[in-house]
Structure 1
């Protein structure tokens, strides 16, 4: 049975809701530790807000280990649909008029129901078939309150102390709330859809539903109804004259274009958000879009080329520049992990690589070294893995990473107006030109890292940063020995004078120097003997 949204809404007072949250956490004995299954069950029990949080967490392979992400992908919205009376109230409050004044027909059975909104098919008064996305009443206040209450529960139960090695709950809540606020303003989704249409208007094989801006508000979104064939229905597509291989190639190329060229990509490209209609691949549902900054797009190109060229140094540098890492990193170990990753894939053809496995492995390395990725990059990783699954269903022989590598390489060759068959001399000129073009980008990244206090100097001493502690002890002992010898020499010189006051016929300052030198010598001798005993 789906859980009624009222179980997690304003019908409960904040006091009672907090008690409910704490009771659920205690029921699962969260203070005794956590595992992936327990976390999923807790989120399900806490209700729609937390199911949504779990869905976001499942995409953050850089923050959570693979087993947590895999388990959280099983979370599904399990919310009872709103009744027609509630839908009518929301729509009429937004429009300030009766529902029948806007819509000629309005299907009472929803096309879909989720934690934030519900979708219905309808017809405008002008006869145009559309879909209406209606936001659940008070969902913003309910989610805002739940986030606030769970922060209090974290403090009361000291959960960050228990779960610190697994996840920083406050970071997860911050990211969720930022994402949820954007998703709950349907004007954002309308703008995203229009921007997507503009970026792809020159591609005859790509389409998107028209947004009825006149009828769209922050809580009601009205767009063109898209029929056509579901993209995962291979047999029906073949029966109607479509070539599954061609669809797979074109959708792959378009998705790589969205990432590399536009920096604006669909973050949830599962089959339910794609249709084939009148010879076009139609993208729908723009509630979750990824945005990459210009420098991040350039870094994505470098990452693709690094994997294609087996360039460990370049891939490691891309990850370090992209990621956020507050803690000290063992750079030697990090580069070794990237080297092992590259060695695993170096013997493979690009078409044989499994993008999902490669992305997961890179994020696992990042997680191991406490490197977290920006929101756009983590959304990109999830989007690529989802797209690979969608494409593989159409044609198992299509490789997303091969399409990406060819796209990036094609752009570079096109920009520099160089033929594919480069002579040895020409290739050297091309490589030199590429390095020259990268210098301003690298300088920009260097300055940005310095300003953020993230610049690191990677000294490869004794194969790891761990032996640096031994070097530090050696320097300390050497310093003590030099100071001790200096004090002995200075005190001996003072003994040749008649300086007063004196102690046992020796100038007092000289006597203090002797005692200090003897004390330091004894400490140094004891330290050396202890270390020798420890080594034995």
Structure 2
């Protein structure tokens, strides 16, 4: 267990979580977390009989059920892990994707206590009508249909009271366990549990603030201005805050209801195409995208229009990351496993010594997809294979790219549900082609050249300052160097030979100059001793010159 003792509240929560894990046959997680001995002392829970375990179910299913029972923090953690296709095998990803935080509803009067305290008046005075029976209930929020005094129909999403305190307490406990497990086990450390937990904490803090969700919806709505086929619900900011989100009610068919979609007479092929193009535009052009575009988060309206909802989980790509993604796909198309490998290692911040083995795996992967007709390529399967190769080489992706991979998989699944012949690769090609053309457009090339020149000037002008800082750090003993001993020995050997050659060259040059000066005394007869020394100097310089030529030739041959 971590060195800092757990508080009584943390100990009770830890015991409760341990009992759930053991009941589902997942007690090994306790050993990885280093709490097995504490739990044994608390009640010898690790020695419960196998009859209390649910060992006949597959491990991924047991994990999903345990997370659901452990509460909202762990449900959300499982949802984040379902996006980490670079870390978990496909069977775990598939099971964790089923995590839906549907929980028993709260009585309306208990739900609204916190929000009414913030507003300073009852919700019945804010809305002309509000239904006390919820439309849906989740672990973080509950939604109710209502009507504004202006007559507009809305959906009111209200955060469960006290949920932030529960989640913050669980996060503190998880941070302690993740830090300890990473120090104790190498196979846990390679998964970077503290980084995953930071990503998770950021995500769940966003989900707890409903005002952020509203801003995300408006950003995407603005990016689709002028496109009547794609929209998002209107946000009513007079009543939207951290605790409550008020959006327009969407009177349409939810994508997760196939029977209603069939009955609605929609052109499913056109809907699949529009949905794919919308998400691809978000990724490659806007660089701000819905990270979970599954059918439950899309409504269909007449005229094959789409309305995206639920913007608690979004992804954002930098220009550099977007360009790297385009380079990756382009490298696959052009059969450049070296380029693909270089990008993957850069993403994972990995040692280049893994290059050769990974490049061979990527080369085989590219060979598989070349020569296959576009309509026969399974983008979801290809993504799984690529990330399987990364897992085998202990490589992990940045969080923004895992969300992108998750969105790709969700989009591909939604498209195939609507149209079995849906071809994600064909839909993505025009976007990739446009990005490649834009990258090499004259104005962008000129801008990159200017940026490069400015960076070069900054480097040169900043060099004296950087050298001064380096010397100051060395004087204070704050300069640390990491040395690869094997490579360093090779470099030192080369350096030693180079220094020897330089020294011999200096001596040879000195002999030539000195002997020439002695012999150049015009009109003076040199003593015999000086003449001998001058001749010896010339002879030595000749020998030294031949030695330099020989050692240089021999050294070049060794390389």
Same fold (TM over 0.5): yes
Residues of 2 paired with 1:359 and 1:144: CA distance?
34
Alignment of 1:407-446 (within 5 A): 407-413=431-437
Decide whether aligned partners of structure 1 residues 57 and 159 sit closer, same or farther in structure 2, where only a CA change above 3 A counts: farther
SS at 2:83 equivalent: coil
Q: Is the 8 A contact 1:232 1:393 kept in 2?
A: no
Equivalent residue for 1:308?
Answer: 333
Q: 364, 367, 370: which one pairs with 2:394?
A: 370
CA contact (8 A) 1:37 1:71 kept: yes
- Tell me what 1:60 maps to: 84
Deviations 1:457-515 (A, max 9, x none): xxxxxxxxxxxx9x989979x99xx9xxxxxxxxxxxxxxxxxxxxxxxxxxxxxxxxx
In the TM superposition, what are the counterparts of 1:4-83 in structure 2 within 5 Å?
13-25=9-21, 28-30=26-28, 31=30, 36-37=60-61, 39-83=63-107
Residue ranges of structure 2 left out of the alignment (5+ in a row): 1-7, 34-58, 457-483, 498-559
Give the Cα separation in 2 of the matches to 1:138 and 1:229. 33
2:140 counterpart residue number: 116
TM-score, scaled to structure 2: 0.69
Cα pair distance change 1:349/1:435, threshold 3 Å: farther
Out of 379-388 and 96-105, give the one that drifted further: 96-105
Following the alignment from structure 1 to structure 2, what is the Cα–Cα distance between the partners of residues 361 and 438?
Answer: 37
CA-to-partner distance for each residue in 1:394-452, whole Å, 9 max, x for gaps? 112221122111222145457879xxxxxxxxxxxxxxx899789869989x99xxxxx
Distance 2:220 2:179 in 1: 42
Q: Which moved more, 1:306-315 or 1:23-32?
A: 23-32
Is residue 293 from structure 1 mapped to residue 318 from structure 2 by the alignment?
Answer: yes
Partner of 2:285: 261
Structure 1 residue 29, shift from structure 2 partner = 2.4
Count of equivalent residues: 430
Distance 1:101 1:474 in 2: 79
Gaps of 5+ in 1: 1-11, 418-432, 448-468, 483-536
Equivalence for 1:499: none
**Matches of 1:371 and 1:434, distance apart in 2:** 36
1:398 equivalent in structure 2: 422
1:187 corresponds to: 211
Identify the range of structure 1 (173-182 vs 301-310) with the bigger mean alpha-carbon deviation: 301-310
Determine the structure 1 residue equivalent to 2:267. Answer: 243
Measure, in 2, the Cα distance between the counterparts of 1:149 and 1:333: 38
Query: What CA distance in whole angstroms lies between the structure 2 residues aligned with 1:301 and 1:261?
Result: 12
- The correspondence of residues 348-359 of structure 1 with structure 2, limited to 5 A, is 348-359=372-383
Measured after TM superposition, the shift of residue 339 of structure 1 is 0.6
More displaced stretch, 276-285 vs 435-444: 435-444
Structure 2 CA distance for aligned equivalents of residues 409 and 401 of structure 1: 12
Q: Does 1:207 align with 2:231?
A: yes
Match of residue 479 from structure 2 = none
Is the alpha carbon distance of 1:43 and 1:160 closer, same or farther for their aligned partners in structure 2, counting shifts above 3 Å? Answer: farther
Query: Which position in structure 2 is the counterpart of 1:282?
Result: 307
The aligned residue for residue 531 of structure 1 is none
Contact 2:32 2:181 in 1 (8 A): no
Q: In 1, distance between residues paired with 2:284 and 2:306? A: 19
The alpha-carbon distance between structure 1 residues 413 and 439, as it changes in their structure 2 partners (threshold 3 A), is closer
Q: 2:348 aligns with which of 324, 329, 332?
A: 324
Counterpart-to-counterpart distance in 2, 1:256 and 1:160 = 42
Retained in 2: the 8 A contact 1:103–1:124? yes
Counting only pairs closer than 5 Å after superposition, residues 379-398 of structure 1 correspond to structure 2 as 379-398=403-422
CA distance in 2, matches of 1:229, 1:69: 28
Q: Indicate if the aligned counterparts of 2:342 and 2:355 stay in contact, CA closer than 8 A.
A: no
Bigger RCO (CA 8 Å, 6+ sep): 1
The answer to whether the 8 Å contact 1:305/1:405 transfers is: no
d(CA) in 2 for partners of 1:260, 1:127: 39
Task: Look at both structures and tell me which one has the larger radius of gyration over its CA atoms.
Answer: 2
Q: Residue 23 of structure 1: CA displacement?
A: 4.3
Contact 1:61 1:69 in 2 (8 A): yes
Query: Could you say if the C-alpha distance between residues 443 and 385 of structure 1 is closer, same or farther in structure 2, counting changes exceeding 3 Å?
Result: farther
The answer on whether the counterparts of 1:92 and 1:98 sit within 8 Å (CA) in structure 2 is: yes
Query: CA offsets, 1:220-257, max 9 Å, x none?
Result: 00000001122355665565453221111111111111
